[in-house]
């Protein structure tokens, strides 16, 4: 008889999820699934709100990446007003997004994933956490904390607070960067750059010990999607979409993000609150065990951004990008960790260059208008990948429709492929040592999923209702 093994909860990720492993009669893995078990539904309860409020509301979707929602929402607002925001406002928004990427990537690598890499998959679960890293690698742990603090300093000096800044608004931003704020950022730049360069050196040494994981953790052909500049340079705030396959062939380029519905479909699976976007021209992926190039499964985020860009655009990060590509492992989700570190470096370099721009102290920060469009789509690159905010409003500016296409959702199909691949490699029989289960969780952690962002209603919402007696007996059960 087949057997189901459940990992619940998946640890060291943002949000609530579980993994189900299905064994056949011979004890081999027949399938493995990643289930997101929490539901929030921001899309629905935002209906009826004035679109002016949306940047502040949607920033509260997540405490890890509030800036990403703040900016995507404000960009939708810009389009509803049909205005071109002042150049200083765009530069300031870009600066805040760079800080957001740094602090989020630092959290993912140092706090959530480094315990596996530094302490080992087989280490004591009670010690395999950030406190264990602090005990064994105090200098590295401190560097990670300080690096995240640097990203938060950028956000705070622009928006007035580290989390949920109500700063970007339709038409621009509320305030510029003060001279005092600029000095505080400058004072931390040197330490931040030193930390990330040392961490990159360490990670490349660690790769020598993790060749098995590199080849097993989500190493399969897929598409990759993200924003690039007009010249193909790495982009994080604006630009057009590019889709490439695993061989680096460009399938779609200079795609207008406002037309995302032409090439991104959104499917629903009955065992998860996470939507499953796919690339429409190649269709919804089949459910066989074999990954094929001719299907619409795609990945977003730092790995995808490095795979699709022609260049990264800053000197030190460009050197690291070329080294990254020499490994020829851009299909491996394990390399999300490597890509995050390179992105932190380019963000630091870009901040360093931006701080000398006098526009950051400009007072011309906002274009003002009334409702001029009834539908708009704002798009940017969140730390975890491309983020879409799609709004429709009435004549008074009240929202009648909201659709959020979140990066973690776009990685959903790839995460399911990843846990199935890892499970089939490591699990043979009903007795599964804890380190093997930890590897399954680590496969998910490589994507750094943000589940609070990505759980929304779409189509028919799955619901299971159980009536349990005081003695723990199941009395009745129904599904919708």
Nearest to 427 by CA among 18, 10, 20: 20
Taking the CA atoms of residue 78, residue 82, residue 86 and residue 89 in that order, the dihedral angle to the nearest 10 degrees is 0
Judge whether 173 lies within some domain: yes
Question: DSSP class of residue 51?
Answer: G
From residue 92, how far is each of 76, 81, 174, 230, 354 by CA, in Å? 17, 20, 10, 20, 9
SS3 465: strand
Contact 476, 467 (CB under 8 A): yes
pLDDT at 480: 46
Question: DSSP class of residue 28?
Answer: B
pLDDT at 469: 61
Judge whether 478 lies within some domain: no
Distance CA 168, CA 73 (A): 9
Nearest to 76 by CA among 390, 398, 403: 390
Distance CA 36, CA 337 (A): 22
Q: Which residues are annotated as a binding site for Ni(2+)?
A: 65, 450
pLDDT in tens, 324-371: 999 999 999 999 999 999 999 999 999 999 999 999 999 999 999 999
pLDDT in tens, 401-416: 999 999 999 999 999 9
Contact 300, 386 (CB under 8 A): yes
User: How far from the centroid of its chain's Cα atoms is residue 79's Cα?
Assistant: 24
Length reported for the chain:
480
Distance CA 190, CA 172 (A): 30
**Average pLDDT of span 425-440:** 84
**Average pLDDT of span 147-163:** 95
In which residue are the tokens 């930390």 written?
Answer: 195
Higher pLDDT, 62 or 453: 62
Q: Which residues are annotated as a binding site for Mg(2+)?
A: 43, 62, 404, 456
pLDDT at 240: 98
The torsion angles phi and psi of 352, rounded to 5 degrees, stand at: -60, -40
DSSP string, 185-247: HHHHHHHHHHHHHHHHHHHHHHGGG-HHHHHHSSBS--EEEEEE-TTSBB-SSSSEEEEE-TT
The torsion angles phi and psi of 29, rounded to 5 degrees, stand at: -75, 120
* pLDDT band per the 50, 70, 90 thresholds, residue 30: confident
pLDDT at 260: 96
> Please, what is the end-to-end C-alpha distance for the chain in angstroms?
27
Judge whether 475 lies within some domain: no
Judge whether 298 lies within some domain: yes
Judge whether 476 lies within some domain: no
**DSSP H or E segment with residue 381:** strand 375-382
SS3 46: coil
Q: Which residues are annotated as a binding site?
A: 43, 62, 65, 404, 450, 453, 456
Question: DSSP class of residue 347?
Answer: H
Contact 172, 192 (CB under 8 A): no
Give the CATH number, domain containing residue 400: 1.10.645.10
pLDDT at 166: 86
From residue 132, how far is each of 42, 124, 129, 195 by CA, in Å? 36, 9, 5, 19
Distance CA 111, CA 103 (A): 11
DSSP string, 169-194: ETTEES----HHHHHHHHHHHHHHHH
Judge whether 477 lies within some domain: no
* pLDDT band per the 50, 70, 90 thresholds, residue 4: confident
Contact 444, 108 (CB under 8 A): no
pLDDT in tens, 301-328: 999 999 999 999 999 999 999 999 999 9
Judge whether 480 lies within some domain: no
Distance CA 377, CA 259 (A): 9
SS3 254: strand
pLDDT in tens, 262-299: 999 998 877 777 888 999 999 988 655 444 455 899 99
Helices (H), 3-110: 42-45, 54-58, 66-81, 87-106
**Average pLDDT of span 180-208:** 97
In which residue are the tokens 């199909």 written?
Answer: 413
Q: Which residues are annotated as a binding site for Fe cation?
A: 65, 453
Quick check: bond before 9 cis, omega within 30?
yes
pLDDT at 458: 44
pLDDT at 246: 93
Contact 241, 229 (CB under 8 A): no
Distance CA 65, CA 170 (A): 19
Distance CA 219, CA 197 (A): 26
Q: Is the pLDDT of residue 41 over 80?
A: no
Contact 108, 203 (CB under 8 A): no
Judge whether 181 lies within some domain: yes
Structure tokens at 396: 């008074």
pLDDT in tens, 89-140: 999 999 999 999 999 999 999 999 999 999 999 999 999 999 999 999 999 9
Question: 343, exposed or middle or buried, with CB in 10 Å at 0-12, 13-18, 19+?
Answer: buried
The pLDDT mean for the chain works out to 90
**Average pLDDT of span 436-443:** 89
In which residue are the tokens 């921001």 written?
Answer: 42
pLDDT at 453: 66
Share of the chain above pLDDT 70, in %: 91
Q: What range does the domain containing 387 cover?
A: 3-470
Question: Number of folded domains in the chain?
Answer: 1
Helix, strand, coil % over all residues of the chain, rounded to 5: 45, 20, 35
**Average pLDDT of span 211-234:** 96
The number of beta carbons lying within 10 Å of the beta carbon of residue 468 is 11
């Amino acid at each position: 008889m087949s057997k189901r093994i459940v990992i619940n909860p998946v640890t060291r990720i943002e949000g609530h999820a579980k993994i189900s492993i299905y064994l056949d009669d011979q004890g081999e893995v027949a399938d493995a699934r990643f289930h997101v078990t929490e539901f929030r539904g921001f899309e629905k309860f935002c209906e009826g709100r004035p679109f002016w409020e949306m940047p502040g509301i949607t920033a509260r979707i997540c405490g890890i990446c509030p800036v990403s929602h703040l900016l995507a929402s404000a960009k939708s607002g810009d389009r509803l007003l049909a205005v071109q925001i002042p150049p200083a406002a765009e530069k300031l928004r870009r600066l805040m997004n760079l800080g957001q990427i740094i602090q989020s990537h630092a959290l993912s690598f140092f706090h959530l994933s480094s315990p596996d890499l530094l302490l080992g998959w087989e280490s004591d679960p009670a010690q395999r956490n950030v406190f264990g890293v602090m005990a064994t690698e105090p200098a590295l742990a401190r560097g990670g904390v300080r690096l995240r603090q640097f990203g938060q300093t950028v956000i705070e000096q622009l928006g007035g607070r580290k989390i949920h800044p109500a700063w970007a608004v339709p038409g621009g931003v509320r305030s510029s960067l003060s001279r005092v704020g600029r000095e505080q950022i400058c004072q931390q730049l040197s330490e931040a750059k030193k930390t990330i360069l040392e961490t990159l050196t360490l990670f490349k040494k660690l790769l020598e010990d993790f060749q098995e994981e590199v080849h097993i953790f989500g190493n399969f052909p897929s598409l990759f999607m993200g924003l690039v500049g007009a010249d193909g340079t790495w982009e994080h705030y604006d630009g057009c979409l590019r889709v490439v396959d695993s061989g680096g062939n460009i399938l779609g380029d200079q795609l207008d993000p406002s037309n995302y519905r032409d090439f991104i479909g959104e499917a629903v699976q009955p065992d998860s609150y996470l939507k499953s976007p796919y690339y429409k021209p190649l269709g919804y992926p089949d459910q066989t065990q074999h990954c094929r190039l001719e299907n619409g499964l795609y990945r977003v985020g730092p790995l995808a951004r490095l795979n699709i860009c022609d260049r990264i655009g800053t000197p030190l990060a460009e050197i690291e990008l070329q080294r990254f590509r020499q490994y020829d492992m851009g299909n491996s989700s394990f390399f999300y960790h490597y890509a995050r570190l390179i992105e932190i470096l380019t963000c630091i370099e870009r901040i360093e260059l931006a701080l000398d721009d006098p526009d950051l102290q400009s007072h011309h920060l906002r274009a003002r208008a009334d409702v001029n469009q009834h539908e708009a789509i704002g798009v940017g690159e969140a730390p975890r990948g491309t983020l879409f905010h799609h709004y429709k409003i009435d004549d008074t500016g009240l929202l009648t429709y909201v659709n959020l296409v979140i990066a973690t959702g776009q990685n959903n199909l790839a995460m399911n492929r990843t846990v199935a691949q890892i499970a089939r490699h490591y699990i043979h029989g009903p007795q599964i040592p804890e380190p093997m289960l930890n590897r399954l969780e680590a496969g998910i952690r490589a994507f750094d999923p943000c589940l609070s962002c990505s759980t929304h209603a779409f189509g028919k919402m799955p619901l299971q209702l159980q009536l349990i007696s005081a003695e723990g007996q199941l009395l009745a059960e129904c599904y919708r």
